[in-house]
Amino acid sequence: MIVQLEQELDAKGYFHPPSRTQATKNTIRTIFTKTGWSSREVKAIRGIIRAW
């Protein structure tokens, strides 16, 4: 699921700047593999949803 999400986000140009792509992907993986999201993680999910 995470790989598919990353592919879709990449196709939408979500990963910007390119130098932060891997760090952003790591954040996404962390968000979806742990419980209890921080306010920063909630903001990241909202950004993902807007990009979709």
Residue 51 pLDDT? 84
Question: CA-to-CA distance for 19 and 15, rounded, in angstroms?
Answer: 9
33-47 per-position pLDDT tens digit: 988 888 988 888 898
3-32 per-position pLDDT tens digit: 999 999 999 999 999 999 999 999 999 988
Residue 18 pLDDT? 92
- Is residue 2 a contact partner of residue 29, using CB atoms and an 8 Å limit? yes
Residue 50 pLDDT? 87
Q: pLDDT-derived band of residue 49, with 50, 70 and 90 as boundaries?
A: confident
Non-local (6+) Cβ contacts of 38 within 8 A are none
Task: Return the SS3 of 39.
Answer: helix
Question: Which residue segment(s) compose the domain that 21 sits in?
Answer: 2-51
Residue 31 pLDDT? 87
Specify the number of domains making up the chain. Answer: 1
